[in-house]
């Protein structure tokens, strides 16, 4: 199956990067190379593009897609949390723009064998980096009831988290839970029938929660933002697309703190903490998909784009 991924908020993201033809740009979640292709098109012969992804299939697909620009691109298989060491290895100090398109790609969802889907019965996997040993099966069968409850409540924001965790633990006493289909049936049994009839797919939030936990998605995001802002050139921009309220909150809070880092009590006449703003938030409110994009790509529904710009000298 081809690594197809419709890049969400594509034009809005590329426009907000303010691309300079001789600039250096990084995509920390390269995927199939959709955003990357549009960035590379705008680079001149002195421009440079660095793509990072932890998914081997994404790396293969993006390398092929970006072939026309191979003289100015470097593609690295890594997690964007290691962004600084990737730049160091490539001999790059500062960059002019960074893109993160968070969450799971259309390809990962559609390629059933990857185990992200709740629509087919396949082995429970959900690894974004298949070099990792731990899978979703290990979480479902190995976490305590309390741990499962915490993950489903916090990352899935599912009001039936307690009952779902209880049902999972009861089911695995009978036999190990091996597949997505088995997990879906367990989740369905934990949610009242009348709720199942009206809401979206009953397993959606639990699957999302397990995926976020397994791939440490929120930790990685929290650990990366300050470093990324630090490595931006003056007027360089960081553009982040989120699909989940917790991701969006992390980005929004971090951007605000980098814009106004002072921790002095409000009644102090002058700042004594000496914390200096790193830049400014460009998007007071997040940029949302257009009505046309929502019609064409249902997966863009929860997407939000936020942009931060580094201080000029």
Which long-range CB contacts under 8 A does 182-187 form with residues at least 24 apart? Answer: 182/121, 183/118, 183/124, 183/140, 183/207, 184/118
Using pLDDT thresholds of 50, 70 and 90, give the confidence band for residue 298.
Answer: confident
What mean pLDDT comes out for the span 162-171?
A: 98
Contact 221, 210 (CB under 8 A): no
User: Which of 132, 104, 134 lies closest to 303 in space, CA to CA?
Assistant: 104
**pLDDT value of position 111:** 80
DSSP of 228-277: HHHTEEEEEEEEEEE-SHHHHHHHHHHHHHHH----S-TT-SS--S-PPP
Using pLDDT thresholds of 50, 70 and 90, give the confidence band for residue 1.
Answer: very low
Using pLDDT thresholds of 50, 70 and 90, give the confidence band for residue 191.
Answer: very high
Q: 261 vs 171, 256, 276, 280, CA distance in Å?
A: 48, 8, 6, 11
For the chain, give every domain's residue range: 10-107+218-310, 130-214
3-state secondary structure 102-141: CCCCHHHHHCHHHCCCCCCCCECCCCCCCCCCCCHHHHHH
Q: 147 vs 31, 138, 154, 205, 234, CA distance in Å?
A: 31, 13, 11, 16, 43
- What DSSP designation does 71 have? G
Contact 127, 121 (CB under 8 A): no
pLDDT over 50 (residue 214): yes
- In three-state secondary structure terms, 33 is coil
How much of the chain is in helix, strand and coil states, percent to nearest 5? 45, 15, 40
pLDDT over 80 (residue 3): no
**pLDDT value of position 207:** 95
Tens digit of each residue's pLDDT (9 = 90 or more) over 106-163: 677 778 888 888 889 999 999 999 999 999 999 999 999 999 999 999 999 999 999 9
Regarding predicted confidence, which is higher, 7 or 21? 21
Tens digit of each residue's pLDDT (9 = 90 or more) over 28-65: 999 989 999 999 999 999 999 999 999 998 899 999 99
User: Which of 3, 71, 2, 63 lies closest to 36 in space, CA to CA?
Assistant: 63
Tens digit of each residue's pLDDT (9 = 90 or more) over 246-265: 999 999 999 999 999 999 99
Among 100-104, 141-145, 210-214, where is mean pLDDT lowest? 100-104
CATH code of domain 130-214: 1.10.150.170
C-alpha–C-alpha distance, residues 71 and 50, integer Å: 12
* Half-sphere exposure of residue 241: CA atoms within 13 angstroms, side-chain side: 29
What mean pLDDT comes out for the span 204-232?
A: 96
Show Cβ contacts of residue 37 under 8 Å, excluding neighbours closer than 6 positions: 65, 66
Regarding predicted confidence, which is higher, 176 or 104? 176
Q: What does pTM read for this prediction? A: 0.91
Regarding predicted confidence, which is higher, 300 or 111? 300
Contact 179, 122 (CB under 8 A): yes
State percent of the chain over pLDDT 90.
Answer: 80
C-alpha–C-alpha distance, residues 177 and 203, integer Å: 15
Say how many C-beta atoms besides its own lie within 10 A of residue 185's C-beta: 16
C-alpha–C-alpha distance, residues 51 and 62, integer Å: 9
CATH topology of domain 10-107+218-310: Rossmann fold (3.40.50)
Partners of residue 239 on adjacent β-strands: 99, 307
- In three-state secondary structure terms, 280 is strand
């Amino acid at each position: 199956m081809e690594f197809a991924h419709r890049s969400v908020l594509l034009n809005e993201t590329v426009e907000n990067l303010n691309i300079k033809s001789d600039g250096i740009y990084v995509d920390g979640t390269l995927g199939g190379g959709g955003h990357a292709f549009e960035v590379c098109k705008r680079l001149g012969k002195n421009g440079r593009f660095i793509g990072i992804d932890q998914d081997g299939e994404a790396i293969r697909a993006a390398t092929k897609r970006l072939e026309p620009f191979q003289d100015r691109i470097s593609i690295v298989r890594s997690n964007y949390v290691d962004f600084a060491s990737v730049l160091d290895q490539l001999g790059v100090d500062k960059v002019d723009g960074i893109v993160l398109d968070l969450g799971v790609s259309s390809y990962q969802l559609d390629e059933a064998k990857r185990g992200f889907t709740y629509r087919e019965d396949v082995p429970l996997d959900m690894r974004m980096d298949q070099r990792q040993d731990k899978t979703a099966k290990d979480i479902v069968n190995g976490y305590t009831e309390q741990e499962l409850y915490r993950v489903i409540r916090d990352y899935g924001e599912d009001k039936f988290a307690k009952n779902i965790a209880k049902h999972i633990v009861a089911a695995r006493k009978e036999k190990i839970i091996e597949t997505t289909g088995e997990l879906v049936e367990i989740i369905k049994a934990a949610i009242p029938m009348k709720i199942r009839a009206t809401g979206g797919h009953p397993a959606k939030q639990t699957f999302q929660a397990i995926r976020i936990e397994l791939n440490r998605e929120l930790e990685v995001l929290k650990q990366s933002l300050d470093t990324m802002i630090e490595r931006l050139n003056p007027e360089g921009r960081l553009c982040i697309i989120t699909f989940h309220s917790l991701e969006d909150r992390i980005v929004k809070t971090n951007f605000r703190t980098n814009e106004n880092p002072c921790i002095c009590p409000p009644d102090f006449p002058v700042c004594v903490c000496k914390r200096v703003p790193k830049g400014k938030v460009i998007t007071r409110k997040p940029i949302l998909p257009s009505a046309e994009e929502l019609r064409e790509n249902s997966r863009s529904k929860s997407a939000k784009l936020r942009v931060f710009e580094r201080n000029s000298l």
